[in-house]
Amino acid sequence: MALRHRDHLPEDFSERTLSEDVRAGLTSSPKTLPPKWFYDKVGSELYEEITRLPEYYPFAAEREILMARATEIVGAAGCRHLVELGSGSSEKTRALIEAVLEATPEDEQAAYRAIDVSDSALRAAAEHLSRRYPTLELESVRADFEHGLAEALAVEDGDDRGGRLVIFLGGTIGNQTPAQRRRFLAALRGVLEPGDAFLLGADLVKSPEVLVPAYDDAAGVTAAFNLNVLEVVNSRLGANFDARDFRHVAVWDAENAWIEMRLEAVRDVHVRIADLDLQVDFAAGEQMRTEISAKFTRERLVDEFEDAGFAASGWWTDDADRFSVSLWTP
């Protein structure tokens, strides 16, 4: 089956946005670094390890929902064309792909489009999926959906595969601030048409006794994952961070309903970021925010999606009600 690849990003996209993000984040007060830079090779491996930790329930909970409910979800959406934002390894998506293949009559074509910023993730996933699902039409698009959502979702003229089911899994929407989320949902609503639908995986608010260990595990894998972002800045921008100067912090911010990961300087620290011609000081005890991971209630999601012009069309949780998969229509 045809395997098409499109690239919407300039060659230097990653270098340029990393530089901009690091300069903006390290010169602001309080200092911040965006979570998207966690995922170099080492960081992606550490994240995979996180998904296998006993404390990190979101991965297993979402997989439980998708495995048990994929047929129902695809039936409710009524789409033959899956479009995944931030597809990564596309691993959990297989349950949905299989449900779409089963629901597609022989004279129609099931399709899957993976959208990610990472070229290597896209290529590996496409290669794997094309071998596993020979009848599936596959497309991969390298794009940054925070900026180029319309281009990433655009269909070619003459393409009448019917409704698209856009999926955004893993709870990654929690990495956005409420303002970013509002912009994202508005942009998404703007490009979806009647017959399309949006499937979201979102983590749910629960006791801090469950939430905090999920982001501060006993084995220290999340700490290593958080600290690794300093190595990313070192290797890609010629900085001289010493990870031993920082410690991992995870706190539950009840007011904002999000987990915040931070790196705290354990002593006064002076850092040079050679490629940016930038010098930065941290005072002992100073904390830099590296990630928010927002947690939701059903009511909150309904409010935000309705504000953006969506209607609620489906809601599924795991048996322990820890995580949600929800369907929204324009």
Q: Give residues in contact with ligand AVJ (CB under 6 A).
A: 50, 58, 170-172, 174-175, 215, 222, 291, 293
Phi, psi of 250 (to 5 degrees): -130, 125
Q: Work out how close the CB of 264 gets to ligand AVJ at its nearest, in angstroms, rounded to a whole number.
A: 16
Q: Work out how close the CB of 204 gets to ligand AVJ at its nearest, in angstroms, rounded to a whole number.
A: 12
CB 330 within 8 A of CB 192: yes
Sign, Cα dihedral of 179, 183, 186, 189: negative
Please tell me whether the peptide bond between 30 and the residue prior to it is cis, using omega within 30 degrees of 0.
yes
β-sheet bridge partners, residue 294:
258
Q: Work out how close the CB of 116 gets to ligand AVJ at its nearest, in angstroms, rounded to a whole number.
A: 13
Nearer to ligand AVJ, 88 or 196 (CB): 88
Q: Work out how close the CB of 221 gets to ligand AVJ at its nearest, in angstroms, rounded to a whole number.
A: 9
Nearer to ligand AVJ, 109 or 324 (CB): 324
The DSSP-derived string for 5-21 is: EEE-S-TTHHHHHHHHH
Q: Which of 257, 153, 145, 152 has its CA nearest to residue 202?
A: 257
Q: Work out how close the CB of 27 gets to ligand AVJ at its nearest, in angstroms, rounded to a whole number.
A: 24
Q: Work out how close the CB of 170 gets to ligand AVJ at its nearest, in angstroms, rounded to a whole number.
A: 4
How far apart CA 123 and CA 42 sit, in angstroms, is 18
Q: Work out how close the CB of 111 gets to ligand AVJ at its nearest, in angstroms, rounded to a whole number.
A: 25
Sign, Cα dihedral of 252, 258, 259, 262: negative
Nearer to ligand AVJ, 171 or 273 (CB): 171
CB 329 within 8 A of CB 317: no
Nearer to ligand AVJ, 109 or 175 (CB): 175
Tell me whether strands 137-142 and 111-116 are parallel, antiparallel or unpaired: parallel
Nearer to ligand AVJ, 76 or 224 (CB): 224
Residue nearest to ligand AVJ (CB): 293
CB 260 within 8 A of CB 212: no
Nearer to ligand AVJ, 172 or 228 (CB): 172
Residues 6+ apart with CB under 8 A from 240: 234, 271, 272, 274
Q: Work out how close the CB of 277 gets to ligand AVJ at its nearest, in angstroms, rounded to a whole number.
A: 31
- CB neighbour class for 164 (10 Å; exposed up to 12, middle 13-18, buried from 19): buried
Q: Which of 172, 110, 174, 113 has its CA nearest to residue 140?
A: 113
Nearer to ligand AVJ, 18 or 138 (CB): 18
Nearer to ligand AVJ, 245 or 291 (CB): 291
